[in-house]
Amino acid sequence: MQFTKAEEYGVLGVIYLAEQGDNRIIPLSEVAESQGVPEKFLAKIFQNLTKASIVRSHRGIKGGFSLGKNPVKVTAREVIEAIQGPYNLIRCIGDPASCVKHPTCPVRFIIELAERSLLEVFEKYTIADLIGWKQEQLAS
């Protein structure tokens, strides 16, 4: 079980945008370079974020991406699920019919609990919270 790079890059990107403040428009190339991630890969991620209107895209010269929502109102879960769809730690979750053992399967039982507790964590922190935490670390 591994957190994917797409998820990591996406969250880092959104945080970077938010840090620039004032809904400034930043070209993707700058975001990619600042985070040290491949630009084309990040492009695809940001397209998903755009669809979820977490960021807003601007074409043309002086174009780029700006925030689409107030970082105080965007949870990590929203960002992550915008990138890679709803969480399913195991294939049978969300599709009970895929396995005959489903109703009494202890593995499914514990994985569902695990997933729930994972999502709770991601829901608890907003982008603003994460930036706040980072500032704290820098200050101390």
Partner DNA sequence: CTCTTCTGCTTTTGTAAATTGCATGCCGAA
Partner DNA sequence: TTCGGCATGCAATTTACAAAAGCAGAAGAG
Interacting residues toward DNA by CB under 7 A: 2, 4-6, 9, 27-29, 37-38, 40-41, 43-44, 46-47, 50, 57-65, 84
Q: Which stretch binds ligand SF4 (CB under 6 A): 26-34, 52-60, 100-108, 120-128?
A: 100-108
When CB distances are held under 5 to 8 angstroms depending on the partner's kind, the choice from ligand SF4, its own copies, DNA, none that residue 102 binds is ligand SF4
* Contact by Cβ (8 Å): 55, 27: no
Q: Give the C-alpha distances (Å, rounded to integers) separating 72 from 27, 35, 49, 117, 131.
A: 23, 22, 16, 22, 10
What is residue 99's DSSP assignment?
Answer: -
Q: If binding is defined by CB under 6 A, does position 90 make contact with ligand SF4?
A: yes
Of 16 and 52, the one with the shorter C-beta distance to ligand SF4 is 16
SS3 71: helix
Cα separation of 112 and 93, whole Å? 7
Q: If binding is defined by CB under 8 A, does position 42 make contact with its own copies?
A: no
| Residue that the structure tokens 């109102």 belong to | 73
SS3 72: helix
Q: Which stretch binds ligand SF4 (CB under 6 A): 22-30, 39-47, 73-81, 86-94?
A: 86-94
The distance of closest approach from Cβ of residue 62 to ligand SF4 in the complex, given in angstroms and rounded to an integer, is 28
